[in-house]
Chain A
Amino acid sequence: MKIEKTKTMNNKNSAHLPGLIWTIIRTDFKTRYHGTLGGYLWALAKPLSMFAVLYAVFSVIFSMDPNYNLNLIIGLFLWDFFSEATKTGFLSLQAKTFLLTKTKFPPWIVVLTSASNALITVSIFSVAVCTYIFVFRRPLSLLEISCFVFYVFLFSLIIIGISLAASVLFLRYRDINQIWELLLQAGFFFTPIIYPLNIVPHKFHFYLYMWLPTAVIQFSRSVLVKGEIPTITAHIMLLSGTAVVLFAGTALYRLLAPRSLERL
């Protein structure tokens, strides 16, 4: 039985795609925050209030660490980026049913743009935290800032890999996002966000770093707070982990996506 694909000019015409990506990002932002600064501040309020509560409680316990507050807020914002972006990624195709069943355009655009709101939030935070460190702590070198931007970029690739797979799996298993939320809850405590990594016995560090958010958060803290660039080996491990997640997510998406729209 020979199966042939649909071959039309629609598959080749891509002049409108940049405009489409921009419009989806802009309208998603507008829908979520009603296009106001006040609305947008709500996005910052969640990690900031979390920071206030956790700082009040744990700064007493970890009072010997002078960088505890900075490490905590970097960890919280990066975790919030990961958590929010992947949760939106799970529902991304479902949320855009009204467009995807209308006409032919690459569904991966919807998955990709689903992380945009979380990316905007983490970008604003990054500028704020770098400015704070520069003004009140120590001058940041260009290399340190570049490393931090690189880690956020790798984090975005990890999120895209997870979201690509999750978006098509969600259409088959409608409760998988609830399972992911449970994993995120466990992951929050597994990742050294509210506690310093050095309170965990060294022999367990490898396992903590296998969970990629740990690596991204620790590396970011290292370059921003301590001014220490992680080793080449550490970078290779992070890059390999990112490549595996992105490749696996893309492969699963390519396998399941062609018939996924029939499930919308």
Chain B
Amino acid sequence: MNALEVTDIHKSFSVPTVRLDTVREHILKGFKLRKHFRKYRELKVLRGISFTVNSGETVGIMGRNASGKSTLLKIISGIYQPERGAVYCEMPITPILDLGMGWNPELDAIDNIYLLGTVMGLTLRELKTAKDEILEFAGLQEFSRLELKHYSSGMAMRLAYSVAFRAVRGLLILDEVFAVGDMEFKERCYKRYEEIHQAGYTVLLVSHNPLEIERFCDRAILLDGGKIVQKGSSQEIAHAYVQSLTSVKTS
């Protein structure tokens, strides 16, 4: 049974060659000659992406920087709108993207847990019972009332990770999140991820690390220039990704 169906997704961004962001700039533009008017460059980020993910399956996505991985995940999450194509998902989605940026530094850890937790779909009742567990997983109980501006980036990331893993619903989308914390915390995260996987959640995992893709994914896809260039087993794709990097270096 398909949990996620992505059909012919296209996305491009209009990138101005000269960026105009203010009313003043737009008015001044009117006084200039036509040849000086702002020109746009069409940046095609995704070109006809189609794939499916079965219920309970983990699919990896690999690709070099600027291959369209993060844009694809934002479209699947509903943050960006596709230009063409469709995304169908029969279950709620938990996207875990840009973990390090989801905080209000003026608030303490508990308030941030409530803020990020409700944004990620947890109710206040769920958060009230889960907050101690979240702090314990992050190993930050004694800093629960400390404002986040006093946290190190590693501590903030651990907290973010703990909230996100508590908020998991039907389809979990992970964008480069295993690059968090020290080895001990990373192992704890791997273990938590395996529990989630065994519980039957469907996962879409983006990573640059071939070992993670091989370890956690049932199969994978390789993106390049906004297109799927290869689909296959996680081992095949991890190998192809490493080869594509090597060939770029060699050439």
Q: Please tell me if B106 contacts chain A, counting CB pairs below 8 Å.
A: yes
Question: Whole-angstrom distance between the alpha carbons of A13 and B103 in the complex?
Answer: 23
Q: Give chain B nearest CB distance to A183 CB in angstroms.
A: 12
Question: Whole-angstrom distance between the alpha carbons of A259 and B81 in the complex?
Answer: 7
The residues of A that contact B74 with a CB separation of less than 8 Å are 101
Instruction: Identify B86's interface contact among A4, A13, A104, A174, CB under 8 A.
Output: A4
Q: Please tell me if B190 contacts chain A, counting CB pairs below 8 Å.
A: no
Q: Give chain B nearest CB distance to A240 CB in angstroms.
A: 29
Q: Please tell me if B49 contacts chain A, counting CB pairs below 8 Å.
A: no
| B101 and A98 contacting across the interface, CB-CB below 8 Å | yes
The residues of B that contact A201 with a CB separation of less than 8 Å are none
The residues of A that contact B91 with a CB separation of less than 8 Å are 9
The residues of B that contact A31 with a CB separation of less than 8 Å are 104, 106-107
Q: Please tell me if B119 contacts chain A, counting CB pairs below 8 Å.
A: yes
| A19 and B23 contacting across the interface, CB-CB below 8 Å | no
- Interface size, B (range): 35 or more
The residues of B that contact A179 with a CB separation of less than 8 Å are 23
B106-121 vs A, Cβ < 8 Å mask (1 yes, 0 no):
1100010011101111
The residues of B that contact A3 with a CB separation of less than 8 Å are 82-84
The residues of B that contact A2 with a CB separation of less than 8 Å are 84
Measured CB to CB, the nearest residue on chain B to A107 is B79
27 sampled A-B residue pairs with Cβ under 8 A: A3-B83, A4-B84, A4-B85, A4-B86, A5-B81, A6-B81, A6-B82, A6-B87, A7-B87, A9-B90, A10-B93, A10-B121, A20-B118, A23-B124, A24-B115, A30-B111, A31-B107, A99-B102, A99-B116, A101-B74, A101-B97, A101-B101, A102-B101, A102-B120, A103-B94, A175-B23, A261-B79
